[in-house]
Amino acid sequence: MEFVYAGGGLGKAGTATLYVDGKKVGEGRVERTHAFLFSMDETMDVGRDVGGSVSTDYDAKGSDDRFAERGDSKIAGRPELIKGNRQIVYGGLTRVPSLAMVNMANRSYAITAEVEIPKSGAEGVIVAIGGVTGGWSLYAKNGKPKFCYNFFGLEQTFVEGSKVVPAGEHQVRMEFKYDGGGIAKGGKVSLYLDGKKAGEGRIERTEPFAFGEESLDVGHEAGSPVTTDYPKNGASYFTGEVKWVEFDTDTAADDHNHLITPEEKFMVAMAKQ
């Protein structure tokens, strides 16, 4: 099929010509076209050959009528920038688009951070993504690990650890066990400190795709805050040092030790997944 676009802007007309083995078998005119890309497969068929001419029926009966599902690249079948189910980032990283991260929507995942806590104690953001209109934050408050999930800016769910993180080097981990059964479902949240459970709670519903225009930040929040539950002065900067953060999804998140060993960290860093 050859399509000669008339030009003159977006969505304009053109002439379509059909060939079989180099011989013309049909010709017709399309009076309007889509101003965006779409896939010409069985689920997105908006124009088909009808008796040697080109249909201009835009009823699109065969179109993919999914909405939120198409926001999840894995469900929609689109390529993802970060392949696999593990990713590691390092302290100081900021303003990373959510689409440049491993996909954690509509599935189980774990967030593990290695932190250095000063004698004065832990306060502030360890790692966060999103902002006031939706996202999550793993942070410390009053010395304890805490997790907030912000659902589209409509409700915030908190899970707080029961133990103060002492001075020194430690691993703080959050595990989210997805309920399954479709998109945007809830799940169980568990907090761990050096592999030992420090708290648990539940999120009843989650966002089914990326958290808008807000970014991933390590050690602080560069954009709008996921929550106002940070220190009273409003500062989100972590009082200690975040050395690295690892994200694991699906089966990679199922770690019975609830720790990232040096060997596991090395494998992820070298992209041997």
CA angle 200, 203, 205 (to 5 degrees): 165
Bridge partners of 53, per DSSP, are: 50
pLDDT tens, 231-259? 765 568 999 999 999 999 999 999 889 99
DSSP secondary structure letters along 45-93: B---EETTEE---TT-TBS---SGGGGSHHHHT---SS-SSEEEEETT-
Percent of the chain with pLDDT strictly greater than 90? 54
Do both 13 and 126 map to the same domain?
Answer: no
Ordered DSSP codes for 86-122: EEEEETT---EEGGGS---TTS-EEEEEEEEE-TT--
Q: Which domain-ending residue is among 54, 69, 93?
A: 54
Q: Are residues 45 and 167 in the same domain?
A: no
The DSSP code for 180 is: -
Domain containing residue 11: 2-54
CATH of residue 264? 2.60.120.200
Radius of gyration of the chain, Cα coordinates, nearest whole angstrom: 24
Residue 236 forms part of a structural domain: yes
101 and 166 fall within a common domain: yes
127-163 pLDDT, tens digit each: 999 999 999 999 999 999 999 999 999 999 999 999 9
- Tally the domains of the chain: 2
* pLDDT tens figures, 195-243: 999 999 999 999 998 777 789 999 999 989 999 898 765 568 999 999 9
Domain presence at residue 65? no
Where is the domain boundary, 54, 70, 89?
54
In a domain, 161, yes or no: yes
Any domain includes 205: yes
